[in-house]
Chain A
């Protein structure tokens, strides 16, 4: 029903004009092939978001959008607190502040070729991954609150990394507004042994080689060149984040009922930003963001140790750290006036343009780095944000490839051992996951990340800077 209403309104841009309860249009960024391949549920879910109170401009879907819970994965929506706007636990998702961290290693591909299996083994030993894994960092109940307020800065204070790292993390590694008192004891208990653990599913730590550079000038500023070895870490806020989402979804379903907010799907659960539950969720969610930032900081430190063990000359420096499941209070220009909005990005990456005050001085000329993860066998990309994205999508773009096939379909089609063997023939070493886990994450079960990134660039949401291909993949 919605697919027929798509109108092409710009470069890789499609609009569904408001109908029914939609207060604003749906805007989808994708090329023709991607938009035609999207499920009707993506449009339906984006239209449902367009009907939530206080939504501003439009309900957006990124080129990698797919059917999610409540909001589509790849959905972006901003809400105005002065216009009855809402905050939605479903609009952030279960893995609060799941994101990607890219780290330069100071090594080139030829330097690691001979010791690749050794490096893979050491990384797999150092980085706790998968079901039942426990972190090497134990955080007592008393210390948890410090972590939830301090984020990556807390991790640096504990000896994991250096202060210089923090300039290259969104929010300088510490999300303001975190209120640990609104995080349940259950959520905190789940994190006591999970700091610095990778998790499972689509989370990974990869050693990658830069195989293409599209913009030399920007790449130079980012310190990236052809054949460089880059480390990429994809993970989130672990059990703590999942529990915050679970706790507040249940509360918000009830609040929405009391406030007579109609929810076409329960997962759209939301509450007015100014309500008690709305404010408490924001404080808890910010604490969840800090948990994820601390996790990725600890993991980078462990990877530094692993690299140093094999390559004493390696020098791991942080390129950037992005989060792609968040709600953040940001200032955006709406109808010519600056407004503070609650911007939800669910499976979407912040992509602020050049000159943004949040960027460190050296990145101001080029814009925020955007890190797009692929799958075990395919490429990842580094992009940078654009000025156009600020008004096209509240400074947001895609986050990854997105699945094209269910987990059960993938396990029917592939066997984990065959996937590992096939990847080994391509020079990609896999460590740490169970055979079924690997089959579920087979590269063929995902969309083409290159098509997603190209559409993102065509839509002017971000600029392609470099392509990276995996050499080692540690999975949970």
Chain B
């Protein structure tokens, strides 16, 4: 069992290239994904979202949820993606730590892996109420990486 757990944690953090980070906002927290492709930047932003709540390494990839979002505009699509994840977390009482995203014409198809919330194990710090349009940006940085970011309301 332990070996299986370790494997899924490792795969959860290694599947996607790039990295995630948080940035400061006076009341809340900014989340940012940085990666070679837009789809991977969206996946890293989702990791940053989980990291607001708990250490993503504590969340195992035991169940998978399919998510579809439809928006033409990149900014609106990022908010729609993060909002869909927040809905799935709340309705299913789950946390997610691994993401695969396929960008399609006018939206995205995604799979998110995770497990039910376990307060002892995950020690969740705070719920995220929503992804906001504040600090919202989807674009390329000076090194050519894709950056996907916004502030989340906690």
- Chain A residues in the interface with B (C-beta under 8 A): 39, 66-69, 73, 93-95, 130-132, 134, 186, 189-190, 193-194, 199-201, 239, 242-243, 245-246, 249-250, 253, 265-267, 269, 403, 405-409, 434-437, 440, 476
Contact = CB atoms under 8 A, between A and B. Distances in A.
Given A200-B126, A434-B123, A435-B123, A39 B87 contact: no
Contacts of B53: 131
B126 A94 contact: no
A201 B154 contact: yes
A244 to B, nearest CB: 10
A189 B91 CA distance: 6
Contacts of A93: 153
Given A190-B90, A407-B154, A476 B127 contact: yes
Given A201-B126, A250-B80, A434-B124, A265 B134 contact: yes
A408 B126 contact: no
Contacts of B16: none
A437 B128 CA distance: 12
B123 A265 contact: no
Interface stretch (B7-15, B18-26, B37-45, B102-110): B18-26
A211 B126 CA distance: 31
Interface residues of B, number: 39
Interface string B107-149: 0000000001111001111110111111010000000000000
A406 B25 contact: yes
B93 A132 contact: yes
A182 B79 CA distance: 21
Interface string B20-61: 001011111100000000000000000000000110000000
B153 A130 contact: no
Contact of A434 (B83, B125, B130): B125
Contacts of B54: 131
A249 B130 CA distance: 11
A278 to B, nearest CB: 19
A131 B117 contact: yes
A190 B134 contact: no
Chain A interface mostly: mixed
A93 to B, nearest CB: 8
Contacts of A437: 124-126
B130 A94 contact: yes
B127 A69 contact: no
A250 B70 CA distance: 12
A232 to B, nearest CB: 20
B135 to A, nearest CB: 10
A67 B133 contact: no
A406 B87 contact: no
B125 A250 contact: no
B87 A436 contact: no
Nearest to B71: A250
Given A266-B136, A434-B125, A408 B130 contact: no
Given A134-B93, A267-B133, A408 B27 contact: no
A435 B75 CA distance: 34
A436 B123 contact: yes
A440 B125 contact: yes
23 contacts: A66-B27, A67-B26, A69-B134, A69-B153, A94-B132, A131-B54, A131-B122, A131-B126, A132-B117, A186-B87, A200-B127, A200-B154, A201-B126, A239-B91, A242-B90, A250-B79, A267-B134, A406-B25, A406-B28, A407-B154, A434-B124, A435-B123, A437-B125
Contacts of A250: 76, 79-80, 83
A190 B83 CA distance: 13
B86 interface: yes
A403 B91 contact: no
A406 B24 contact: yes
A362 to B, nearest CB: 36
Given A406-B25, A406-B27, A406-B29, A94 B125 contact: no
Given A250-B76, A407-B154, A436 B130 contact: no
Contact of B91 (A67, A130, A186, A266): A186
A436 B125 contact: yes
A406 B26 contact: yes
A243 B87 contact: yes
A403 B25 CA distance: 11
B93 A94 contact: no
A393 to B, nearest CB: 22
The listed residue with most A CB atoms (<10 A of its CB), out of B80, B118, B130, is B130
A468 to B, nearest CB: 24
A66 B28 CA distance: 12
A131 B129 contact: no
Given A130-B124, A190-B90, A94 B133 contact: no
B83 A246 contact: yes
Contacts of B75: 266
Contacts of A403: 26-27
Contact of A242 (B93, B129, B133): B129
B22 A69 contact: no
A68 B27 contact: yes
A69 B87 CA distance: 21
A266 B133 contact: yes
Instruction: List the 6 closest pairs (A to B, CB-CB), nearest first.
Output: A132-B117, A131-B124, A266-B133, A436-B125, A437-B125, A94-B130
